[in-house]
């Protein structure tokens, strides 16, 4: 004897389809709201800039190799355990994450970075007590020195 097939009610199918669609459609909005290392998220953190000195040219005519220099000074009684360089407008926001082998009270770093466009570059210093310091520095990036062949 052949097994009897159960018919699906139209109402049951539509309810299931609606639940799946609601779950799929709500996922991108949830991700956008909690986007890490975005300009808005970094500003909302209210990071203290005490002890961070950043040197970045205010105008860069070559976005491939922009010199960046910074000095980190840990507050009294604390040590630096790592730092991040973040460019929120780049496709890959985190330029560099570095964990120091042992805690430092002062750290100086020089490098060249690549930026996609004019933006604020963030330097975040991580301390041994779990707190974070941060400073943003703005730079304007031009694609070339001459736009109109003059």
pLDDT tens digits, 84-101:
999 999 999 999 999 999
Question: Is 53 a domain residue?
Answer: yes
132: CATH = 2.60.40.2470
Examine residue 146 and state whether it is found in any structural domain, yes or no: no
- Residue 22 placed within a domain: no
Residue 142 pLDDT grade (very low, low, confident, very high; cuts 50, 70, 90): confident
The answer as to whether 63 is a domain residue is yes
Q: Is 123:84 a contact under the CB 8 Å cutoff?
A: yes
Contact 124, 88 (CB under 8 A): no
- Would you state the pLDDT for residue 31? 46
Decide if 147 is inside a domain: no
Q: Quick one: pLDDT at residue 29?
A: 47
Q: How far is CA 11 from the centre of its chain?
A: 45
11-21 pLDDT, tens digit each: 766 666 666 66
Q: Give the count of domains, the chain.
A: 1
- Pick from 93, 59, 61, 99: which is nearest to 80 by CA? 99
Give the pLDDT confidence of 65-82 residue by residue, as tens digits: 999 999 999 999 999 999
Our separate counts of H helices and E strands in the chain read 2, 8
Domain of 132, in residue numbers: 39-141
Give the residue, 145 or 47, on which the prediction is more confident: 47
């Amino acid at each position: 004897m052949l097994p009897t097939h159960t018919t699906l009610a139209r109402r049951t199918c539509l309810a299931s389809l609606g639940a799946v669609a609601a779950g799929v459609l709500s996922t991108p909005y949830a991700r956008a709201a909690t986007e890490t290392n975005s300009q808005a998220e970094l500003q909302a953190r209210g990071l203290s800039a005490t002890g961070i000195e950043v040197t970045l040219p205010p105008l860069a005519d070559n976005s491939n190799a922009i010199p960046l220099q910074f000095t980190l000074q840990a507050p009294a009684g604390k040590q630096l355990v790592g730092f991040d360089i973040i460019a929120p407008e780049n496709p890959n926001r985190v330029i560099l994450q570095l964990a120091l082998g042992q805690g430092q009270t002062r750290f100086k770093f020089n490098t060249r970075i690549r930026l996609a466009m004019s933006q604020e570059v963030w330097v975040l210093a991580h301390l041994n007590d779990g707190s974070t310091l941060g400073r943003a520095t703005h730079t304007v990036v031009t694609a070339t020195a001459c736009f109109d062949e003059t």
